[in-house]
């Protein structure tokens, strides 16, 4: 059984694949915050900007099998895509997708031709079958994912050493300014850090700037 918040076609708004057409498969639930505003301040992750509670979003629901869920994702891609010669791309996100995403579902998605990406907080081991791993560490949690394609840190976070993160085995490193009332200040700090430390690149939330879902 897979509990899914929503499935929708959009453009990736952050990181390496920013601007790429994708289906977002958002799972319900997270291990660093339960999604309730009254519990945000006492949670490990306090700055999440995503609604991942329940199964009431677009195409959300409780899917009994991997095949059923993969078919729904494939239909979402084909319904919105005119040029079918591009590789289908699905971003498995949450919440924390690795609480539910497993080898059976990954294989089912790949069976429909999808390149399968995951956006994880790095506290759960990543299945080897995943095509693209984007890890976004959170201060106060135990990071167990030390290798992947993209490390994207929401910045700044007290308690996280950027010097130690850059030594991990990732191909790309991004700083993404934390949203909120300090966004301008956080953006300026991130730009300054990236200028002085060129292993890091700036990631903006393009979907918010462009008004994309």
- pLDDT, tens only, 31-47: 999 999 999 999 999 98
pLDDT band at 101; cut points 50, 70, 90: very high
| pLDDT on residue 213 | 73
Q: Alpha-carbon distance 11 to 197, whole Å?
A: 28
| pLDDT on residue 86 | 86
Indicate the number of domains in the chain: 1
Structure-block tokens of residue 140: 């106060």
Residue % of the chain over a pLDDT of 90:
90
**Structural domain containing residue 116:** 2-210
Q: Read off the pLDDT of each residue in 200-211 and give the average, rounded to a whole number.
A: 87
Helix (H) or strand (E) holding 146: none
41-58 as b/e: b if 16+ CB within 10 A: eebebeebeeebbebebe
Structure-block tokens of residue 37: 């505003």
| pLDDT on residue 15 | 94
C-alpha torsion angle, residues 138, 97, 169, 43 (rounded to 10) = 10
CATH code, domain carrying 98: 3.20.20.70
Q: Supply the residues annotated as catalytic.
A: 24, 30, 45, 48-50, 119, 207
Helix (H, G, I), strand (E, B) or coil at 30: coil
Q: Read off the pLDDT of each residue in 104-121 and give the average, rounded to a whole number.
A: 98
């Amino acid at each position: 059984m897979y509990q899914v918040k929503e499935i929708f076609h959009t453009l990736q708004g952050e990181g390496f694949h920013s601007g790429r057409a994708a289906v977002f498969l958002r799972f319900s639930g997270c291990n660093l915050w339960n999604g309730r505003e009254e519990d945000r301040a006492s949670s490990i992750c306090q700055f999440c900007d995503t609604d991942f509670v329940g199964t009431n979003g677009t195409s959300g629901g409780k899917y009994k099998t991997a095949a059923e869920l993969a078919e729904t994702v494939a239909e979402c891609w084909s319904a919105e895509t005119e040029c079918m010669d591009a590789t289908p791309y699905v971003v498995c996100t949450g919440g924390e997708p690795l609480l539910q995403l497993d080898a059976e579902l990954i294989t089912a998605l790949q069976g429909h031709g999808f390149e399968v990406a995951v956006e994880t907080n790095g506290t759960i081991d990543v299945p080897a079958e995943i095509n693209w791993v984007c890890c976004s560490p959170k201060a106060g949690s135990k990071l167990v994912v030390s290798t992947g394609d993209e490390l994207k840190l929401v910045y700044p976070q007290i308690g996280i050493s950027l010097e130690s993160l850059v030594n991990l085995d990732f191909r790309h490193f991004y700083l993404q300014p934390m949203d909120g009332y300090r966004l301008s200040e956080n953006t300026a700090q991130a730009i300054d850090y990236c200028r002085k430390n060129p292993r890091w690149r700036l990631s903006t939330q393009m979907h918010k700037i462009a008004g994309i879902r």
